[in-house]
Amino acid sequence: MCSSATRLFWIALFWMGWNLQGEQQDHNQNAWFSYFGDHPLSGGPWGLHFDAQLRRSELGAEPMQVLVQPGLNYQCASGWQLAAGYGFMETSAYGHHPVPVALPEHRLWQQVTRTSKLGSLSLQHRFRVEQRFLGQSNQGIQPAKVDSYRYENRLSYRLATTLPLKALGCDKLYFKISDEVFVNLGEQVLGNHFDQNRAYVALGRPIGKHGKLELGFMEQTLQMRGGNVFQNNHTLMISFFSDWPFRSRQK
């Protein structure tokens, strides 16, 4: 168990230190504040998913992105979960290569999640597919505005592991590491078939029976459209997770 956790930890550090070589590098210090909810319905296999993220640049001082993603999930046997939903995101001007105007995105998403145990270690694999409709601005015309949308597909895979820290005398804390890789597909992808990588480490604590709070750090390496600029986003992460069940009232 310890050797598996150690290997995953070094893999996460490798991704954090990985620096893709582009013509330009853009380093940013960001802060993301997130809510992730997976709420079972009436004790059955169906549930509601909802996540909302407020992403800020300059360590929270300036706007970056807002993301809202509702969905529906189905809990299968043996740790498998299926989910699908809709997402809306708006990206503001941030960093050294900002967009000319706030750009909206509408997306549909589907995912498969597999959760398993290896001793006290919890492992989670997540595969996700997205159909993205990305707002575009009229280039070279002032004032800039969104005048069209382009369509792209995106695939992602995330491996996450959680280790309780009871052996260190911290009964209510756990350590979490994860890495997620994103790939763009489609005729309208321009120079950035590799989209991004997110390497994440965090300390977490249960809050009541159905909540968890995590404080972490994420190193996001993102290739911008065109392929010549790579963002290295050093990101503070504050996330709350809930699996509070939604039950119908008894008559």
CB 46 within 8 A of CB 39: no
Which domains does the chain possess? 2-97+106-130+157-242 (2.40.160)
Give tens-digit pLDDT for 102-121.
999 999 999 999 999 988 89
> Quick one: average pLDDT of 127-153?
88
Residue 217 CA to residue 205 CA, distance in Å, equals 15
Give tens-digit pLDDT for 173-210.
999 999 999 999 999 998 899 999 999 999 999 999 99
The structure's pTM equals: 0.86
Give tens-digit pLDDT for 75-86.
998 899 999 999
Low-confidence winner among 29-33, 58-62, 106-110 (lowest mean pLDDT): 58-62
SS3 annotation, 41-93:
ECCCCEEEEEEEEEEEEHHHCEEEEEEEEEEEEEECCCCEEEEEEEEEEEECC
| Triad 135, 140, 141: Cα angle to 5° | 80
> Quick one: average pLDDT of 131-147?
83
pLDDT confidence tier of residue 168, bands split at 50, 70 and 90: confident
Question: Residue 198, class by beta-carbon neighbours within 10 Å (0-12 exposed, 13-18 middle, 19+ buried)?
Answer: buried
